[in-house]
Amino acid sequence: MQRDLSRLTRELQNEKCPRRVCDEVQRRVFARGHTPGWRHRVIPAVAAGLVLAGFTVLWQWPAARNVRPTAESPMRATQSRLQTANQAAAALELIGSIAARAGALSEKAVSDRAVPPLRNSLYNAQNQIIHHLQL
**pTM > 0.85: yes or no:** no
Q: What is the mean pLDDT of residues 51-65?
A: 77
pLDDT tens track for 95-130: 888 888 888 888 887 778 878 888 888 888 888 888
Is there a contact between 8 and 129 (Cβ–Cβ < 8 Å)?
yes
Q: What is the mean pLDDT of residues 68-92?
A: 82
User: For residue 131, what pLDDT is reported?
Assistant: 76
Cα dihedral across residues 91, 93, 96, 100: positive or negative:
negative
Residue 16 pLDDT greater than 70, yes or no: yes
Residue 30 pLDDT greater than 70, yes or no: yes
User: What is the 3-class SS of 61-89, one letter each residue?
Assistant: HHHHHHCCCCCCCHHHHHHHHHHHHHHHH
